[in-house]
Structure 1
Amino acid sequence: MSMTFIRNHQMNVIQKQADFVLKTLRSVADRGVIETVRHSAAASIFEQFPDLTEERREMLGRLTSLQTAEEFQEYLSGLEPYREPMPPITPKQLQKLFPKHKKLKLPDLEAVDFRELTYLSWTDIATNRLFIVYPLEGQYIGIEGRLTPVNKKGYCVFCNRNHELAFFSVHTRAVHASPDHFSIFGHYICLDNRECNRSITGTEALEKFIRTVRR
């Protein structure tokens, strides 16, 4: 069995629940309320892992007994070795995902911590093109589109958090149309993909978007 099992979005859930429990400990005196929050937080974490072994369940469930900020930090730090990175990808593989771009500007993969990514993305500033790469159903999928900053905050469709937004628009084939007929599909997403990856707590919206634009 692989030692790693916590994907980035799952780690974000754990972090969010740990922060919630610690905030409750600092602001609430009622022991009954505190215990309810503890067990609710643990349940939210367990929901992320339908096939937990007893050992891993016990490790994650330690959240219910923590008291101090130092203990919470130790708990989160202790989970770092169990973080599962995105599958490795090479510059050559990235180039194959976007064959139309013969001079594709690639990110510095050596500087990327793939444990902290749910999806890989980068922007070509010169053309305002955003490139997104995501492992879907066992293979990497690449999508690209125009990224237009909108100078406002709102909720990102990928992470559902209130961040500075941009409009991401992708040309996609219209349903029941001829092969050469395209339509534009877009959504508001985080302008800063690093913030998005630090905030995302589920992959459903991201995968739905990808499936829609690659039909």
Structure 2
Amino acid sequence: MVKPFIRNHQYNLIKKQAVMLQNACNTVSDRKVLESVKYSAQSKIVEAFPDVTELQLQMLEKISTINTAGEFQQYLLSLEPYLTEFVEVTEKQLKKLFPKIKKLKVPDLAAIDYRYVTYLGWTDIATNKLFLVYYLNGQLVGVEGRYTPVNKKSICFLCNRHEEVALFSAITKSKPANASPDYYKAIGNYLCVNSDTCNKNITDVTALEKFIHDVVGY
């Protein structure tokens, strides 16, 4: 029996490659070119799963054998049972991650489908705060920062898509060894205003994990 092994960002990558390949199947008549596109799509998917078993690999590589819209849809549906869920969190856990926030407003946790979550993100408009929670190295990590709407679309540093963004600025907790007591450093990036949209777009967690490391220190 194959256990769930596909994380949300990996599934988004698979969907992205499936859409590109389906478009190629609909528009490219040269067989060699189409085979090249199929090989590229399959390779990018396999590269995102360095530790898969042989059976898991066979499931992923089926993308190179399909051609029609119905087959692509069935391929994606066949992978959904193997999506791993983001660790389910409670309001108590979130409050523990942000102990300095006395009246922490949390999202509706019961309404979240954790299969399609790479990170939890929500805003408190009243305080202009944005909160981000991620599961890293076996534990939940929370990052809070200032949320500044910019009322425009730009490239989100996490999902790398052109979306409505805000400037997310967090104060780093890590300090150089010789830093003065009043050392202060903030790290700012453009982040999707809507975390649900970001979670649907994100295909790589490298930028997310680097950001958390830079802010939290691990």
Common fold: TM-score over 0.5: yes
Distance 2:18 2:216 in 1: 37
1:61-210 to structure 2, matched below 5 A, reads 61-173=61-173, 174-175=175-176, 176-210=178-212
Give the SS at the match of 1:106: coil
- Quick check: 135-144 or 181-190, which moved more? 181-190
Residue 215 (structure 2) aligns with = 213
TM-score of the two chains, using structure 1 as the length reference: 0.95
Give the SS at the match of 2:158: coil
Give the SS at the match of 1:16: helix
Distance 1:172 1:209 in 2: 10
Per-residue Cα deviation, 1:36-95 (whole angstroms, up to 9, x for no partner): 111110110000111221211111111111111111111101111000011122111111
Which amino acid in structure 2 is aligned with residue 201 of structure 1? T
Residue 27 (structure 1) aligns with = 27
Give the SS at the match of 1:134: strand
Contact conserved, 2:119 with 2:134, CA < 8 A, in 1? yes
Distance 2:54 2:209 in 1: 30
Aligned-pair identity in percent equals 53
Q: 5+ residue gaps in structure 2?
A: none
Distance 1:133 1:45 in 2: 26
Per-residue Cα deviation, 1:102-140 (whole angstroms, up to 9, x for no partner): 211111111011111110011112112100000111111
TM-score of the two chains, using structure 2 as the length reference: 0.94
Q: 5+ residue gaps in structure 1?
A: none
Which amino acid in structure 2 is aligned with residue 78 of structure 1? S
Instruction: Give the superposition deviation at 1:182.
Output: 2.1
Which amino acid in structure 2 is aligned with residue 177 of structure 1? A
Distance 1:10 1:64 in 2: 17
Distance 1:48 1:140 in 2: 23
Distance 1:43 1:183 in 2: 40
- Quick check: 48-57 or 204-213, which moved more? 48-57
Instruction: Give the superposition deviation at 1:183.
Output: 2.2
